[in-house]
Chains A and B, each alone.
Chain A
Amino acid sequence: MTAVASSFSPIIVSGMGGLCAAGANVPEIMRTIYSGLRTPVVSEYVRADHLEQYPMFELPPSAVPDGYYEGPESERCGLLAIVAACEAVKNAGLDLDSLKEYRVGVCIGTTVGNAMNNELFYRDFLFNRLPGMQSIKTYLKANPADMVARHFHLKGMRQCIANACSSGAVAIGQAAEWINNGLCDIAIAGGSDMLCRVIYNGFISLKITDSQPCRPFDKNRMGLNLGEGAGMVVLESSRTVRQRKAQTHATLCGYGNCSDAYHISAPIPDGVGLEMAISVALQQAQICHGDIAFINAHGTATHENDKVEGILFSRLFPQTPFHSTKGYTGHTLGAAGAIEAIITIESLKRQMIAANVGFSDPDPEFTVNPVTENTPVAGDYALSDSVAFGGNNAVLVFRRTSEA
């Protein structure tokens, strides 16, 4: 790919919200990951007839308070998005009334939230038991971007991004570009995903799930643990932030999105697609590799993913501290890039990154290792990368703001 002469302007993150197995909101998530605690469990709800049951990072049913349900057509993935969006909107100092004063876009990434994959319905169809249409009505109303827009009475543009495991990061990057190009004033952006049997069986079939708590970047890693949750940010231009006198968590100053063009479910071994996405994001931020204070890696704990990132970081960022936080959250798929963007911003504000839980033995295939304890960092820029099925790579670069 040729060099990018992009006109990306920094966009401000003025609100954040999230929930996952590590916590019901952003402060709880950060407390958990700094404490080193993690709670993968064999699910009571998502089971299958495999010889082994695989632990997951699951949210309790109470994660979605009763007040958020809007009837039988309220699908869980969209509800998780609404819970996170409510926290983000409130955190940004906005509410239903003040949102009406702006052109607000909604951009949400997901893998499950837009899929017609209701197993009970399909089982009945397959055996000619003539299923009713309730689950289809739910599916037709389940688009997370539509659900969030409906919840906040928003009439502006919205879209659901389905870029597999980079969806959350891509949604944030695209929403920033909308604002840059004047398509909206404010955007609610992020990702949301929920656990289900299709996903559980699918990842087990790929033989990339670990029957123990996952070990990102460890030599003996055996695969990922699935997770569920949502992460949402409120994005706006500096003009809107000044006008509203809003707080500033950080500035999104670079977004790269590039393709491996290699394989439907494996990353290209030399990581060239991810390297290009990093290069694009750094060019947009007008900084070099050495300016990055730390990296929140994709770090799924699958052999191939971590190897690609490890080799690439060894070459591009030999001195830069990095960690994967999937040991605390599980791999939340379409939500991962957004939850990790929020963790990156919070870590940048606090100048402290959490230990890469699960890592103990260095992998001889690369020369860098993640941090093994909570580690102070020094600098203004941080990078979060996401790697997805089909070879889609997304990179976000955030800058600490003086107010942070």
Chain B
Amino acid sequence: MTCRMAIRGIGLAGGFGCGTEAALNALRDGGKPNDVLSFQASTGKIDYPVYLADPQPLKDFISPRKLRRINKYSQLAALAACLALQDAGRDIPSQCSDMAVIVASGYGASSTTFAFLDDIIKEGDRFASPTQFSNSVHSSAASNVTILLQIKGPCLTVTQFEMSTTAALLNAQVWLTEKIVDTVLLGGIDQINQVLLYCYHSFWPSEIPQEIMPFNYDRQTAIPGEGSAFMVLTRDEGDVPPYGYIDTVSWKNPDDYTVPDDVMLISGSDGHRACGLQYRKLFRSVDPGRIKSFSIIYGSMPCGQMFDLALASLAARHKLAPSSCCSIKLDANNNIGVIHHS
């Protein structure tokens, strides 16, 4: 029997800004894309709306000298991790050594991989950059978090597209249940780039969305987002944690799953029509007033469920949403990640 997990702190960095105040403002006011990136398509230059995140505030926690060779992907993860630890009242790095780090990512450090390929393609194989290569691996964010924050416990990077957050939380739950560690610093991270936008436009060329419509299941309205969301998790220690509990985490299939009828549902729908059809089927008998989506705040990204959970916890703490909810994320392989929060 796995334990329930207490949420001690959260850290957020996304298109809405960074930190809980920025996230609260977005929860109250709604969100929208904050920038535009351009790329070349068959029809000419395309300007695509995006949710871009800025890692600059990391300099408030970590000396810029230590960040010189660290890519944006890792910096975003480190920023959200620092914010979560600060929010949980943990000193950095003196109270970090014993904890575990788990990072969930869909696309990994693909922007750095492309930067590595830039050198090879433009300059030749002999000009491949060792720094770019070292930072291009999926695990670079988790590794850099352990290095920057001097964390010496277990470390894990999980990449399972939309199911990454569910899978990561299952591992955290196991480590806390087995008392391998007392604290898990767990986060999701994804980064966007022009290649990703080109792919979005190539797959869905008919329209360039201006806003995500998570409940319009007939249209492709996904707008790529980037950012990082982290949580400081412990076992239930008997007190009341500031952001409540993750009661259960489960991996389900639509064939044998019925959505709960007694809590608010946080839908992972983020404007992708292919998954939207599955969401519609799953929620067909649910009162629409009971379903909420946060994707308009942070954008469309594989690790979006981590943002859903963090934003739901924050909203509950500040009485902007009920204290209990169920986060539901679908993937393209007919899997459902279900997380109950109270």
Q: Which of B152, B154, B171, B174 is the most central at the interface, judged by chain A CB atoms within 10 Å of its CB?
A: B154
Decide: B40 and A114 in contact? CB cutoff 8 A.
no
Decide: B98 and A392 in contact? CB cutoff 8 A.
no
**Complex Cα gap A206–B158 (Å):** 25
Chain A nearest CB from B330 CB (Å) reads 14
Q: Which of B140, B144, B255 is the most central at the interface, judged by chain A CB atoms within 10 Å of its CB?
A: B140
A115 within 8 A of B: yes
B114 within 8 A of A: yes
Decide: A177 and B174 in contact? CB cutoff 8 A.
yes
B277 within 8 A of A: no
A/B pair count, beta carbons within 8 Å: 227
Decide: A160 and B41 in contact? CB cutoff 8 A.
no
A30 within 8 A of B: no
B86-127 at interface with A (beta carbon < 8 Å): 97-98, 101, 105, 107-108, 110, 113-114, 116-118, 120-122, 124-126
**Complex Cα gap A367–B129 (Å):** 35
B155 within 8 A of A: yes
Residues of A within 8 A of B269 (CB): none
Decide: B130 and A157 in contact? CB cutoff 8 A.
no
Residues of A within 8 A of B173 (CB): 181
Q: Which of A51, A159, A161, A203 is the most central at the interface, judged by chain B CB atoms within 10 Å of its CB?
A: A159
Given contacts A49-B124, A260-B152, A262-B147, contact A161 B158 (CB under 8 A): yes
B342 within 8 A of A: no
**Complex Cα gap A161–B154 (Å):** 13
Decide: A163 and B139 in contact? CB cutoff 8 A.
yes
Decide: B136 and A116 in contact? CB cutoff 8 A.
no
Decide: B152 and A164 in contact? CB cutoff 8 A.
no
**Complex Cα gap A195–B99 (Å):** 34
Given contacts A6-B179, A48-B125, A259-B155, contact A183 B174 (CB under 8 A): yes
Per-residue CB contact flags for chain B residues 147-177 toward chain A (1 = under 8 Å, else 0) read 1011111111111110100010011011101
Decide: A4 and B134 in contact? CB cutoff 8 A.
no
Closest to A8 in B: B178
Given contacts A5-B179, A128-B40, A178-B170, contact A389 B121 (CB under 8 A): no
**Complex Cα gap A263–B110 (Å):** 21
Residues of B within 8 A of A159 (CB): 158, 160, 163, 167, 170-171
Decide: B126 and A174 in contact? CB cutoff 8 A.
no
Decide: A264 and B134 in contact? CB cutoff 8 A.
yes
A229 within 8 A of B: no
Residues of A within 8 A of B129 (CB): 205
Chain A nearest CB from B108 CB (Å) reads 6
Given contacts A111-B137, A183-B170, contact A390 B146 (CB under 8 A): yes
Chain B nearest CB from A132 CB (Å) reads 8
Closest to A202 in B: B133
Per-residue CB contact flags for chain A residues 104-138 toward chain B (1 = under 8 Å, else 0) read 00000001001111010011011010101100100
Closest to A122 in B: B117
A306 within 8 A of B: no
Residues of A within 8 A of B156 (CB): 161, 163, 170, 174, 257
One of B6-14, B51-59, B196-204, B304-312 at the interface: B196-204
Decide: B146 and A259 in contact? CB cutoff 8 A.
yes
**Complex Cα gap A197–B117 (Å):** 10
Decide: B159 and A263 in contact? CB cutoff 8 A.
no
What residues of chain B have their CB less than 8 Å away from a CB belonging to chain A?
1-2, 40-42, 69, 97-98, 101, 105, 107-108, 110, 113-114, 116-118, 120-122, 124-126, 128-130, 133-140, 142-144, 146-147, 149-161, 163, 167, 170-171, 173-175, 177-180, 195, 198-199, 202-203, 251, 253, 255, 332-335
What residues of chain A have their CB less than 8 Å away from a CB belonging to chain B?
1-2, 4-8, 48-51, 111, 114-117, 119, 122-123, 125-126, 128, 130, 132-133, 136, 140, 143, 145-146, 149-150, 155-164, 170, 174, 177-178, 180-183, 197-198, 201-207, 257-265, 272-273, 276, 280, 388-392
User: Can you identify 13 A-B contacts, CB atoms within 8 angstroms?
Assistant: A1-B153, A4-B179, A51-B126, A119-B121, A157-B251, A158-B160, A174-B171, A178-B174, A181-B173, A181-B178, A183-B170, A206-B130, A390-B146
Q: Would you list the 3 A-B pairs with minimal beta carbon distance, nearest first?
A: A390-B143, A162-B138, A202-B133
